[in-house]
Chain A
Amino acid sequence: MKFADILASLIHDMKNSLGMVINTLEELSGDTLAGLPAQHKVTVLQQEAKRLSNNLIELLTLYKIENERISANIEEWNLSDFLEEIVAENQVSAAAREVRLESECDADLSGYFDEGLLRGVINSLIGNGLRYTQTRLLLTAGQEDGYLVFKVADDGAGFPEEMLRAQQARANGESLAEGRTQLGIYFAEMVATLHRSRDKRGFIRIANGCLLAGGCFSIWLP
């Protein structure tokens, strides 16, 4: 057994334990602690555990992508249903930070993507967004220029200039995440490029001041 395989199997195990922790915490804050001061602390624990869990899922997925054990399982999904599920899943964490988490999407639109992979990416973008935003976090999905586009926008300070500049330089094929330790961005990019249709490939973009005042991360899928 190679070290990477051992690592993957351990991560898998950790992730399951963490799932148990998260849900037990949820039960605690749901009934026993309702209204007590300790509830806030439990919520903080819950959020950190979720962050950890998202990170582990990213790691595991990346491991599988690298080992070519994964290919995007593309199916058609209703976009508003998909975003509503994600909002529901993250509502408690958002509320704890007093952030308004919402989705906006035409109820009849559908798109083609790997639901599990995209859920992972957007969850982790929300996790990041919750740390950088002021009051709101907005998820949208729709068609643009022949691509299916998911956006996660916040009203925080936005992405730093150097990151935007790096994106400009990307015209010559350089990866946005290259040379950085930003696992979240790297993960999103890997997942986007797993989506292919005919001769087009998925990609990611960052921008400031679209939708809301702060940063806006978008995933473009063919």
Chain B
Amino acid sequence: MEVPVSGVNFTRQDIEKKSFLIVDDFADMRNMLKGMLQLIGVAEIDSAANGKDAVSAMEQRRYDIVLCDYNLGPAKNGQQVLEEARHRDLIGLGSIFVMITAENTRDMVMGAVEYEPDSYLTKPFTKDLLKARLDKLIARKKDLEDVDRAVRQRSLVEAIRLLDAKISEGSKNLSELQRLKAELCYRVGEYQQAEAIYQQVLSVREMPWARLGLGKVLFSSKRYPEARLLFEALLQENERLTAAYDWLARTLRMLEQSQEAQKILQRAVELSPKAILRQKALADLALENQDDETAERALDQAVRLGRHSVYRHPSLHARLAKTKSRNGSNSAGLKVLKNMRQEFGADQEAELYCCMAEGVIQQDLGNAAAAAASLEKAALLYQKLDLHANPEATLEMAQTCGQMGDPQRAEELIRELVRNNHSEEQFLRQVGGVMRGLGLQADPENFIAEIKREIVHLNNRGVELAREGKLKEAVGLFEEAVEGMPGNRVVNLNTARVLIIFMQRHGVEPARLGKARQYLERVRLMEPENPALRKVDEMYRELASQSAEASGSA
């Protein structure tokens, strides 16, 4: 009866040795999958009936392969299980996550924003298909093991180098390697290289992923009008490509068309309502457009979805509460805060957000004493948690102060925000929106632009001094600047850079080396994938290893 199957069987050993987790809310389905795996020869099989159990199973043990159904009943869905598993690094380096979908949910599932499973498997499928698919995935993972490791260790440049080697060797899945390489180039800021790859793919054939990638490159290179045309054309052909809506909305916002951007995101949310980041982005836009009704709906969804998600954040609850209050129901707002305290327990950052919202609502209710108490508590927490480097929290604090009759403090915080984030255009746009809402400054954009100019000027002068060889002066200037804006990435990086150049000339000093590392660590905390950070990091490593060698040979 055995008919030889064409192809390879050498992986049979591999699959039998893997540990599996099956996640499905139907006992019949779990048993069926388990039966299939047993017939294949797998011995280590655990199962979970819902997302919560799946996550706790993954906390207990690192599985090689997770087979997860998308529909898991009312709480977490498969995508959220995947997000949490990858975000919290619960599944290991070469592990495989297969999303099982019913054919009628596939479109919905494909709208995932951040994390993609290794493969989708559409029900129904047979044991043989499952085995063939898993064999292939195992072989592929093995092929990309080193790249995967480099990515997880954040050595993206190394990952790109490894991919280049594989590409030049010629491989079965060349296009997958190209796609991966383009994505990594984009992440490290090598936009030209990423663009070249996407253009090359597109010259052979129209592929939505390559078109989308190209659009991201255009956006990040600030070529907004081109990006807009591209995303619009892409959506003409692929109306269900939800990621393209997200990028089009972002682009429109940069083009100062926030109303248009909101409409686009509303369509994406209709297509794929379960993505919490998208709901949050919609709420941001609606608030900017003073469309409190839409904002309330989006925030409601974001909070509800967030309950089971790694993207849960107290700022969402606080904004929902305030929006409900603005929409006329202070009691509903207070109820959100009550639930919020229950949900977050002793989390102090959550308490801070809660107090800020409470202050605003109490003031609206006319309870001046309660409002002042909340604000005072919030101010204390803000100091205690040292959140000056956290732009979201600082902006919220500024807004709260502004709404509660302390425009001076609000402006102070906003000045600090702009100084610390002078190169973050998307965020500055949001800051401008908040200022306008509070009636701070007649021309918020000009206010922001002036602070920006000041910093850019300072920066340029420091760089100029360094170029002229006046390193001591340059170090002095930047060290003073970074004191005043410890959250500014550019200034931190430049301070580290001039310190390193200074030491290259005048020899390494442990105290200076330590300072340089501290500035680099600050940037890493705020933005681990900052492209400039990578370059200064390399300079730092070289210097540190030279000095170690020198002291070793002395």
Q: Chain A: residues with CB nearer than 8 A to chain B?
A: 12, 15-16, 18-20, 22-24, 26-27, 30-31, 53, 57, 60-61, 69, 71, 73-74, 76, 78, 80-81, 84-85, 87-89, 91-92, 94-95, 100-104, 107-108, 110, 112, 116, 197-198
Q: Name the one of A19, A85, A104, A198 contacting B123, with C-beta atoms under 8 angstroms.
A: A19
B233 CB to closest chain A CB, in angstroms?
Answer: 14
A107 — which chain B residues lie within 8 A by C-beta?
172
Closest to A43 in B: B1
Q: Name the one of A22, A103, A110, A116 contacting B122, with C-beta atoms under 8 angstroms.
A: A116
Q: Judge whether A74 and B207 touch: CB under 8 Å.
A: yes
Q: Name the one of B3, B35, B110 contacting A73, with C-beta atoms under 8 angstroms.
A: B110
A24 CB to closest chain B CB, in angstroms?
Answer: 7
A23-B35, A26-B126 known; 12 new pairs, CB 8 Å cut-off, are A15-B124, A16-B102, A30-B39, A71-B239, A71-B240, A76-B175, A81-B136, A84-B7, A88-B132, A92-B126, A94-B3, A116-B103
Most A CB atoms within 10 A — which of B2, B28, B103, B110? B103
B153 — which chain A residues lie within 8 A by C-beta?
none
Q: Judge whether B103 and A57 touch: CB under 8 Å.
A: yes
Q: Chain B: residues with CB nearer than 8 A to chain A?
A: 1-3, 5-7, 28, 32, 35-36, 39, 102-104, 106-107, 110, 122-129, 131-133, 136, 172-176, 205-208, 238-240
Known A20-B28, A20-B32: A12·B124 in contact at CB below 8 Å:
no
A-B contact pairs, 8 of them (CB 8 A): A19-B124, A71-B240, A84-B7, A88-B131, A88-B132, A91-B3, A95-B2, A110-B172
Known A60-B103, A91-B3, A197-B206: A78·B173 in contact at CB below 8 Å:
yes
Known A20-B28, A74-B207, A80-B7: A88·B39 in contact at CB below 8 Å:
no
Q: Name the one of A26, A85, A108 contacting B132, with C-beta atoms under 8 angstroms.
A: A85
User: CA–CA, A88 to B126, complex, Å?
Assistant: 9
User: CA–CA, A69 to B243, complex, Å?
Assistant: 18
Closest to B179 in A: A76
A12 — which chain B residues lie within 8 A by C-beta?
102-104
User: CA–CA, A62 to B77, complex, Å?
Assistant: 28
User: CA–CA, A107 to B174, complex, Å?
Assistant: 13
User: CA–CA, A86 to B206, complex, Å?
Assistant: 27
Give chain A's interface secondary structure class. helix
Q: Judge whether B110 and A92 touch: CB under 8 Å.
A: no
User: CA–CA, A27 to B102, complex, Å?
Assistant: 22
B129 — which chain A residues lie within 8 A by C-beta?
85, 88-89
B102 — which chain A residues lie within 8 A by C-beta?
12, 16
Q: Name the one of A15, A95, A116 contacting B1, with C-beta atoms under 8 angstroms.
A: A95
Q: Judge whether A87 and B206 touch: CB under 8 Å.
A: no
A57 — which chain B residues lie within 8 A by C-beta?
103
Q: Judge whether A89 and B172 touch: CB under 8 Å.
A: no
B124 — which chain A residues lie within 8 A by C-beta?
15-16, 18-19, 22-23, 53
B128 — which chain A residues lie within 8 A by C-beta?
88-89, 91-92
Q: Judge whether A23 and B126 touch: CB under 8 Å.
A: yes
User: CA–CA, A69 to B103, complex, Å?
Assistant: 12
B455 CB to closest chain A CB, in angstroms?
Answer: 46
Known A12-B104, A53-B124, A91-B128: A27·B136 in contact at CB below 8 Å:
no
B132 CB to closest chain A CB, in angstroms?
Answer: 4
A2 CB to closest chain B CB, in angstroms?
Answer: 16
A24 — which chain B residues lie within 8 A by C-beta?
32
Closest to A60 in B: B103
A89 — which chain B residues lie within 8 A by C-beta?
125-126, 128-129, 132
A143 CB to closest chain B CB, in angstroms?
Answer: 13
Q: Judge whether A103 and B6 touch: CB under 8 Å.
A: yes
A92 — which chain B residues lie within 8 A by C-beta?
126, 128
User: CA–CA, A87 to B123, complex, Å?
Assistant: 18
B395 CB to closest chain A CB, in angstroms?
Answer: 40
Q: Judge whether B207 and A23 touch: CB under 8 Å.
A: no
User: CA–CA, A80 to B206, complex, Å?
Assistant: 23
User: CA–CA, A116 to B32, complex, Å?
Assistant: 22
User: CA–CA, A24 to B124, complex, Å?
Assistant: 13
B104 — which chain A residues lie within 8 A by C-beta?
12, 60
A137 CB to closest chain B CB, in angstroms?
Answer: 11
